[in-house]
Chain A
Amino acid sequence: MNADAKTFRRGRRDPLEKPLKALFPIWVVGSVLLVLLPIYLIFHVSFAPGSALFGERPRLFTTEYTLQFWKASFESGGLAGPLVKSLIVATVTTLLAILIAAPAAYVISRLRPAIRYTVVIGLLVTRMFPEFTIGISVATNFARFQPFGLNFLDSYVGLILAHLIGSLPFIAWILVGTFETIPVDLEEAAQIDGASRLGTLTRVVFPVAAGGIAVASLFVWLYSWNEFLYARLLTTNELTLPLKVFQAIDRGSEQEMATVAAILTLPIVFVVYFLQRYLRPGALSGAVKG
């Protein structure tokens, strides 16, 4: 910028200059509070004694915290079952999603651009349908057909199958982007060295893409851990953790609800910490222009 422009600008009075400067810190602090306050409240309510929350204006701070509700949730709240179910379903869903989507994503990434674009859009279009459109039919058929005496309703297998519906298009989309960045020369070099096509894939391509696969699997794990809709359609007895939160809400017990919600939220704080490196605005700009 040259000096002329600066003096010119200074010569004009900008009516927004002063209020913006004054409001800016308030706006930033306000945004941070808006994001953090709800998370604080969940933990606050789960640790606060009932007396602090009594009345029409519950207290925002208290000095007398108690572990009463955490203990009660673990001892008599029947949390063990839901916790195990949520953990197993999320983990198995993640593993299967990678196993199914990674090889396919590799093939898609090596297609001609026009076809590749069409396939990826086609996968994402399936996500535009309401989950209910898919879930209603899936739940009905799980109830109706029970192959080999397997009851998919109310079982780990059924829920894992349902969670794969939501995660496969998404993980395939992320992985196509990852594999695209791996040069084909690398594969050709491996094949000249005598590797088979499968060997090239498992020993060269997948290890190089490990970072992308790890990020994608974290997203799938989060999705399955948080998922509520399919779980509700497919569950009658064995609850998952999100269903357990809903049960507590239904019962009207604020502190039980807050405690289960806090347990559900805890692992996520760590996952987001690991993910924040990859959640850069730049990662999205490519998707818009492409």
Chain B
Amino acid sequence: MATDASVVAAATEPFKPRRRAGWIKRNRFELALMAPLVIYVLFLTVAPIVDTFRRSFSAPDSGFGTLQTFRGLFDGFSFSQPTEFQRAIVNTVIVALLSLALELGIGLSIALALHAKFRGRGFVRTVMLVPIGVPTIVSGAVMLLVFTRSGFLNSITAGVAGLISKIPGVDWDFQNFSLQVAGGWKTLFTIAVADMWKVLPVVVLIFIAGLESIPQDVYEAADVDGATKWQRFRRVTLPLLIPYFTMALILRAIDAFRIYELALVLAGGIEPVLGTYISKEYLPPVSNLYTSSAASVVLFGIIMIFIVAYLRFVARSQVQR
């Protein structure tokens, strides 16, 4: 605590500047503790963000306050012959929506299974956590092993096909996949699967937390009313999960649009996304600082549009229902 004298002085002093000085003096301990973090965030987070925004509204030959860089990015947009930047935007949105759908869908169904009581549940729940620590780049490397032209997906599917073909009358003549090098949505799909695998633990944890927050008597009431399993799920579980669903979706959406390592590894040369486009523009040999800055601002804009749109339209309509 500050000394009593300074408290009295600050309380009785009518002038504002002196008063502020008193406030600083009284709270100097707190201020000293806060200072390193505040200074760090200002200099190495806020300043760089401002710097990048400022640069994206500048151009090498004309100073600040021009839209030239953005205009250059959006130049030549067409449906028949999309530019690389245009493809990057479309691919980013496709990958993000695809991986969100996979993560939330499969995450919810795994959480439902792990919410039920069965022997060995503790062990299975621990196993589900493993990918949380696996580096993203490793998850990309694994999916490369799985989905490439001579990948393990072929071995696994061939094994399953062999088993199924043992059933009389069934003959599955399996042709090899090569999803990762196929280009188009197939390549984007492998990125989404890699992303899903990596973040499954987080999504499952959020949904299990949500399922455990639903009180048992709601289900008992549904049983008394003779609800079927599907009705219990559709009318009780889903509506009560909405806050957790929204949390998972927003947390994941921020990362899903920023996807980078996985796209670099799995689609580096074939399908650009905004992350790989920005890094390609920034790094040598291209080294185009202004374009990469503007592209990163566009990426931020897409994330914001998605989140605001979700909160404004989807989340609200669900609450009203």
A15 vs B230: C-alpha distance in the bound complex, in angstroms? 9
Check if B145 sits within 8 Å of A27, measured CB to CB. no
Q: Which applies to chain A's interface (DSSP): helix, strand, loop or mixed?
A: helix
| Inter-chain contacts of B243 with A (CB < 8 A) | 288
A107 vs B55: C-alpha distance in the bound complex, in angstroms? 35
Chain A positions 239-290 with a Cβ under 8 Å from a chain B Cβ: 242, 245-246, 249, 254, 257-258, 261, 264-265, 268-269, 271-272, 275-276, 279, 281-282, 284-285, 288
Let me know if A113 is at the binding interface, CB within 8 A: no
Let me know if A67 is at the binding interface, CB within 8 A: no
**Interface extent on A, as a size class?**
35 or more
Let me know if B63 is at the binding interface, CB within 8 A: no
Q: Which of A38, A136, A245 contacts B143 (CB 8 A)?
A: A38
Q: Which residue of A lies closest to B116 (CB)?
A: A24
A198 vs B226: C-alpha distance in the bound complex, in angstroms? 62
| A1-29 to B contact mask, C-beta < 8 Å, 1/0 | 10001001100101111001000100110
Check if A249 sits within 8 Å of B265, measured CB to CB. yes
Q: Which residue of A lies closest to B45 (CB)?
A: A126
Check if A100 sits within 8 Å of B40, measured CB to CB. yes
Let me know if B275 is at the binding interface, CB within 8 A: yes
A139 vs B44: C-alpha distance in the bound complex, in angstroms? 11
| Inter-chain contacts of A57 with B (CB < 8 A) | 150, 154-155, 158, 176
A15 vs B247: C-alpha distance in the bound complex, in angstroms? 32
| Inter-chain contacts of A24 with B (CB < 8 A) | 113, 116, 118
Let me know if A186 is at the binding interface, CB within 8 A: no
A146 vs B36: C-alpha distance in the bound complex, in angstroms? 22
Chain B positions 132-150 with a Cβ under 8 Å from a chain A Cβ: 132-146, 149-150
How many chain B residues touch the partner (CB < 8 A)? Answer: 98
Check if A132 sits within 8 Å of B299, measured CB to CB. yes
A242 vs B260: C-alpha distance in the bound complex, in angstroms? 13
Q: Which of A28, A38, A100, A271 contacts B113 (CB 8 A)?
A: A28
Check if B44 sits within 8 Å of A138, measured CB to CB. yes
A50 vs B37: C-alpha distance in the bound complex, in angstroms? 51
Q: Which residue of A lies closest to B260 (CB)?
A: A229
Q: Quick one: given A36-B130, A56-B154, A104-B34, are A164 and B44 in contact (CB under 8 Å)?
A: yes
Check if A282 sits within 8 Å of B260, measured CB to CB. no
Check if A222 sits within 8 Å of B205, measured CB to CB. no
Let me know if A225 is at the binding interface, CB within 8 A: yes
Let me know if A114 is at the binding interface, CB within 8 A: no
What are 23 A-B interface contacts by the 8 Å CB criterion? Answer: A24-B116, A27-B109, A32-B128, A39-B131, A60-B155, A60-B159, A104-B38, A107-B34, A108-B34, A132-B260, A139-B282, A164-B44, A165-B45, A226-B133, A229-B261, A246-B137, A249-B265, A279-B129, A279-B132, A279-B205, A281-B206, A282-B212, A288-B209
Check if B300 sits within 8 Å of A104, measured CB to CB. no
A236 vs B6: C-alpha distance in the bound complex, in angstroms? 55
Q: Which residue of B lies closest to A119 (CB)?
A: B34
Chain B positions 109-126 with a Cβ under 8 Å from a chain A Cβ: 109-110, 113-114, 116, 118, 124, 126
